[in-house]
Structure 1
Amino acid sequence: MSAPLQIGLLVFPKVTQLDFTGPLQVFAGLPGAKIHLIWKRIEPVPTDSVLVLTPTVTFADCPQLDVICVPGGAGADDLVNDEETLDFLRTQAKAAKYVTSVCTGSLVLGAAGLLEGYNAATHWSAMQYLTAFGATPTKTRVCVDRNRITGGGVTAGIDFALTLVSILADRKTAEAIQLGLEYNPAPPFNAGSPDAAPPDVVSFLKERMAARSAGRSDAMERAAMRLNQPA
């Protein structure tokens, strides 16, 4: 009997829950997979919405993972300068088959030095930060570059996870999971990207995000400086 596939998703304060729960629901349908929800301690973790998550394993007790996945959210801006988290990711990445992320989780991988020389996707509002970590920003829902697989913003996490399942198992398994979830997107508005959304909607959202964007810029600058410091 083969050993179970070990899949770990990082949870952290102010994670965007859909970055996390979308892939989780897909992975839950993968036969032979053991899924871990990982954080520093076993304690309730608040998301960026009312939902609270409970980790299942700590950094210290986490087994070697076949897949490590970092979701995004406002809390990712804190993680890019959190050495305990970055060290955990570096250690896991050494033997993981796939190092992955959703949304701004790719910035955390970048801050850990795990995207240098790779193409990577992220949320449209954060694309400009990837180059500071040696990655090539790629405007796509899912970016596969060798064993680095990164998803775009939030809802792209479902596409990312289905793509990864097709690699870990096969296309039929991925399609069966998609069918079971009735994942057949037909959004009511054509406003899901800055290229498609009306200009006034794009401006409106950017104004709402301005304060957070300023804080993110500072965090990314500090993370890039720390990463590029001589050893």
Structure 2
Amino acid sequence: MTDSPKPFHIVFLLFDGITQLDFTGPAQALSRIPGAVIHTAAKGMGPIQTDSGFAILPSTQLSDCPQADLLCVPGGFGTREVIQDEAALQFLRDQAAAARYVTSVCTGSLALGAAGLLGGKRATSHWAYTSLLAKFGATHEKARVVRDGNLFTAGGVTSGIDFALTVVAEIAGQRLAETIQLSLEYDPQPPFDSGHPDRADPDVLALLQERVYDKALRDIEDIIG
């Protein structure tokens, strides 16, 4: 008889305005670690409104959440509320103190920064917000996944899948990570080479910044001070 694997607790912080793929992409891969137990933690048990027009339900309140082996903070426009929410920030501090891995996707790194968890660290975030990392004492490293000790930060949205596979390999070996990648058929071949500002059409980049990110960046800068 084979012994069951020891539970490996994975905690995602949920909040209104979350980018759902920041959460669901990594969760899909991380959930396949032997013994993985996924906890979705929020301030209350009501529906969490995502940026995709649908809601998701948390599995636990912050006050009742088990200790994470791996803590992950997704991003989204709701991050601006998280970085002002002392209860959420204290939750991150408390969880990070005993977690084996502290991680983020997209602007989730800004929440880690606001909780005081990025000081002196190398980190990344969504490309539109990387300039803010220095305000939290972090050094931006240009990569989809950045590791500094037990801290793993991922760039924008889809890079969360890369981060998850990287962590799976760290925890359970490359062979399992490759098996999960194959099972998910994660084989990106996008129809356009426009997934990073270094390669995107300058007009597309300028339009997106003007319509979306310039104001969002100013809003967070005003909050941080």
1:136 to 123, 135, 139: 139
| Structure 2: gaps spanning 5 or more residues | none
Three-state SS of the structure 2 residue aligned to 1:99 is strand
Code of the residue aligned with 2:105 in structure 1: it is V
RMSD over aligned Cα atoms: 0.9
User: After the TM superposition, which parts of structure 1 deviate over 4 Å for at least 4 consecutive aligned residues?
Assistant: none
TM-score, normalised on structure 1? 0.93
- Are the counterparts in 2 of residues 142 and 151 from structure 1 also a CA contact under 8 Å? yes
Give, in whole Å, the separation in 2 of the partners of 1:65 and 1:132: 27
Partner of 1:167: 170
Matches within 5 A, 1:16-95: 16-95=19-98
SS of 2:98's partner is coil
Identity %: 51
| 8 A Cα contact 1:102 1:152, kept in partner | yes
Q: Is the 8 A contact 1:42 1:54 kept in 2?
A: yes
Aligned ranges for residues 117-128 of structure 1 at < 5 Å? Answer: 117-128=120-131
Which of 107, 110, 120 aligns to 2:110? It is 107
Q: TM-score, normalised by structure 2?
A: 0.96
By how many angstroms is 1:41 displaced?
1.1
2:34 is aligned with 1:9: no
1:212 positional shift: 2.2
Cα distance in structure 1, aligned partners of 2:6 and 2:142:
36
Give the equivalent residue in structure 2 for 1:149.
Answer: 152
3-state DSSP of counterpart to 2:40: strand
The CA distance in 2 between the partners of 1:78 and 1:219, in whole Å, is 9
**Equivalent pair of 1:77/1:220 in contact (CA under 8 Å):** no
Offset, 1:220: 2.6
Between stretches 24-33 and 170-179, larger displacement belongs to: 24-33
Give the paired residue count. Answer: 221
Partner secondary structure for residue 94 of structure 1: helix
2:223 alignment counterpart: 219
Give 5+ residue unaligned stretches, structure 1.
222-231
User: What amino acid maps onto 1:92 in structure 2?
Assistant: Q
Q: CA deviation at 1:49?
A: 1.4
Deviation at residue 27 of structure 1 after TM alignment: 1.3
